[in-house]
Amino acid sequence: MDTTVEAKRYKRSRQRERILDTLRRTDSHPTAAWIYDELKRDFPDLSLGTVYRNLNILHDQGLVRVLQSGSTFDRFDADTSVHYHFVCQACGKVEDVAFPLPHDLDERASAMLGRVVTGHRLDFFGLCNPCSSAESADPVETGKL
């Protein structure tokens, strides 16, 4: 991630425009590989690395959300009761959160969606106290996780 004051100046590229376009035309929350397959028709020499690079750029620009970060660590919790988590975007620390959400949230969602809902997961993002006081001018970095 860029920590300098100046943001990077990007040039246009057909590939990146088509990647964003492809992403906007679907609601299937595709993987990088799916986008790659999709564009392979029009760009026979397309590389997976190019797709990843551009998705990261688009994310930098705030045009794309990353739903799951497959590149981070698995974290484990022996507390199997219902509770949520607060994740510090600076240091990655994970804290428990006892946030009062409706106890029948799954049932409600189930009824509203017309699907079998067996559970949910809620994470809050932000800065923990130590990191909050340590950082003065920090880049935005929205929705990183």
| Interface contacts to DNA, rule CB under 7 A | 8-16, 31-33, 43, 45-50, 52-54, 56-57, 70-71, 73-74
145 binds, among its own copies, DNA, none (CB under 5 to 8 A by kind): its own copies
30 CB-contact burial (10 Å; exposed 0-12 / middle 13-18 / buried 19+): middle
Give the Cα separation of 52 and 36 in Å (integer): 9
Report the nearest approach of DNA to the CB of residue 112 (Å). Answer: 30
109 binds, among DNA, its own copies, none (CB under 5 to 8 A by kind): its own copies
Give the Cα separation of 109 and 92 in Å (integer): 30
Please check whether residue 119 is in contact with residue 132, taking contact to mean a CB–CB distance below 8 angstroms: no
14 binds, among DNA, its own copies, none (CB under 5 to 8 A by kind): DNA
